[in-house]
Structure 1
């Protein structure tokens, strides 16, 4: 845990983190368990610098966007996606995005999101990692990628981290013969 992350913890969470750090056990439970435990005590997201952009894209206030960003690191928020290594986290946006598919998408490093057509305008905000689409465009953390209705592409998560992005796409997407629309529980 970095010094910056320690300053983001509430006093009770900081005390808990200090207690955990001093525990000695016969068998080390591993870094993954430690990271999950510490993440569960967070009251601010590691994506805090993107809260305003997320709020704007989803037509939500910043507090609601911050709460959604906290859930990005929770495994139970995600469901299986349309391809291996792809997971989806559906979120509800405000009135300005009614009729749009809204949510986060996670693509494991080196995996590909399949070819798909945008049935309406799409806006993507990368919050972790980077992608390279079939047109050669690279989009990195903090960058926005708009795609017009009727456009189609596929993309790959590049770099060492899983790609995580927020998507708002009007009317949905078509992947092969399958349409994921605004009323689809997957979207």
Structure 2
């Protein structure tokens, strides 16, 4: 995906310390020494200096500023949400405003779990599309995906009960393949809010 198609949050996500730390930790777990990792980073940085700078797309600055200036706590995610749910940008912005309205949330399955159903665009027709909010410490019940799942974390964080206890935080994206099983526990702090798209169905245990 080119930078011209990315929102400000996408660009910032590339530099989030939490993401960098997780990536470095994954490499270290394979046996790569810290000195080798540092040397590789230096070599890559030096290689970048040999490349002639390219002019950014003409509208990139305007797009970044527009993304940054969107109102509310979640407006910065509107570009991602528009792509995820096949929505127009104004519709995605309106959806992000709904996140902050207590009256929009509906109780779901167990105490501490709430949802906002999402009306998607034509490319996502037939998919399960929703915003999910988990209060800290609450577990979303174990389930199996009968179709691929994409999750964008809009706030807070969660830890999976499978997949090695992987954690995801605000700004992270997770992909889970057809047939995968997991349960999610919201981590301490603010409620965990995620945008979820499932192409298929979900089977709860």
TM-score, normalised via structure 1 length = 0.69
Q: How is 1:30-41 mapped onto 2 (pairs within 5 angstroms)?
A: none
CA contact (8 A) 1:130 1:140 kept: yes
**How many residues get paired?**
134
Alignment RMSD (CA, Å) = 1.1
Q: Shift of the alpha carbon at 1:127?
A: 0.1
TM-score, normalised via structure 2 length = 0.63
Matched, 1:53 2:80: yes
Structure 1: gaps of 5 or more residues: 1-42, 177-187
Q: Deviations over 1:43-98 (max 9, x none)?
A: 82311211101110001111110000000111221111111110010011101111
Report the counterpart of residue 146 of structure 1 in structure 2: 175
Over 4 Å off, 4+ runs = none
Q: How is 1:44-123 mapped onto 2 (pairs within 5 angstroms)?
A: 44-123=71-150
- Pair member with larger Rg: 2
Which of the pair is proportionally richer in helix? 2
Structure 2: gaps of 5 or more residues: 1-69
CA contact (8 A) 1:48 1:66 kept: yes
> Which secondary structure state, in structure 2, belongs to the residue aligned with residue 121 of structure 1?
strand
- Alpha-carbon distance between aligned partners in 2 of 1:59 and 1:69, rounded to the nearest angstrom: 14
> Which secondary structure state, in structure 2, belongs to the residue aligned with residue 171 of structure 1?
strand
Report the counterpart of residue 162 of structure 1 in structure 2: 191
Report the counterpart of residue 137 of structure 1 in structure 2: 166
> Which secondary structure state, in structure 2, belongs to the residue aligned with residue 55 of structure 1?
helix
CA contact (8 A) 2:75 2:97 kept: no
Report the counterpart of residue 175 of structure 1 in structure 2: 204
CA contact (8 A) 1:116 1:152 kept: yes
- Alpha-carbon distance between aligned partners in 1 of 2:158 and 2:150, rounded to the nearest angstrom: 14
